[in-house]
Amino acid sequence: MLDRDAARSVLETPDEDVLALITAAGRVRRAHFGNWVKVNYLVNLKSGLCPEDCTYCSQRLGSSAPILTYSWLSAEETVRQATAGIEGGASRVCLVASGRGPGERDVDRVAGVVEAVKSAHPGVEVCACLGILRDGQAERLRAAGVDAYNHNLNTSESRYAEICSTHGYDDRVATVEKAKAAGLSPCSGLIVGMGETDEELIDALFALRALGSDSIPINFLMPFDGTPLADTWLLTPLRALRILALARLACPASEIRMAGGREMHLRSLQTLALHVANSLFLGDYLTSEGQAAAADLAMIADAGFQVLGTDPDRGRAPAVIRLRGAGTPQAPNA
């Protein structure tokens, strides 16, 4: 198991040795995931007007970022958007809603949306990202057919108070633990480039390892105008690669996803990053545009990888996500 000294050495890898680092991390990636890339697609169920004050977020309390704001999408519109992603190659649909956390009626609403999505696309995985969960809500989502729950730690415990004052690090950990206990596959990751030190980054990744996060999205800060972190540009493409390599080596069997901001910070090194990460989001993010979906799929093919499909005709990889629950662990839907 990677220790702190080894983790520091990864982040301190000289520029001339980064390719050797990617080769080493790539061997680990292929040992667990072969040449498969899992494609995920975001559907933003509810946008903006969030009461939380996370400094990185364009939807935060007090944000003047020029974003769309709207209440809940209908089930029909959600299925339409999900279908676009699935037809583009996605095997997981991530249903996201702004806010501190869902109310009881919100959970019922999401349950109906999940039923509609899975009725239209029986083989697709559904991940919900609805904020901080109350007791019993994770179990209701699981019963409704949700496969995974995303709630990112975002940064280290020691740094958390600097990026949010309206909830705490412990609230996020507790939500991940509730999702796990209910049998949902835990998806939890980071936002990097917010001024964190190497030690704080290592703390955060080791915390995700201790939580047993099945899927670890690595987001690269997009410094939105109208937020406290506007004009914060602390990452280079090589630094972003080192961070992805550390995530892979620290959590070798977890799905490592290059997520928001990859186009902005990895730039021409995105293809190289696929040799470390085994997952990405297709197309746009919550409130910002991503790379064109066709360009994403071409990038995957050009690098010699295959898209993980939802049916045998499009391919199926070995068990990637370990859905948790009573009895024998289940194989993934994708």
Residue numbers annotated as active site: 50, 54, 57, 94, 127, 187, 257
**Type of residue at 67:** I
Q: Are 83 and 119 in contact (CB under 8 A)?
A: no
Q: Are 244 and 218 in contact (CB under 8 A)?
A: yes
The rounded distance, in Å, linking the Cα atoms of 193 and 178 is 28
Of the CA atoms within 13 Å of residue 239, those in its CB half-sphere come to: 15
DSSP letter at 252 equals T
| Pairing relationship of beta strands 279-281 and 255-258 according to DSSP bridges | parallel
Give backbone dihedrals phi and psi of 226, rounded to 5 degrees, phi first. 90, 5
Q: Are 241 and 276 in contact (CB under 8 A)?
A: yes
The rounded distance, in Å, linking the Cα atoms of 154 and 201 is 10
Q: Per the structure block, which two tokens stand in for 145?
A: 């057919």
Angle ∠(39,326,212) on CA atoms, nearest 5: 50
DSSP letter at 298 equals H
**Type of residue at 46:** K
CA-wise closest residue to 155 among 207, 202, 190, 188: 190
CA-wise closest residue to 208 among 243, 166, 242: 243
The H-or-E segment that residue 41 falls in is strand 36-46
The H-or-E segment that residue 107 falls in is helix 104-120
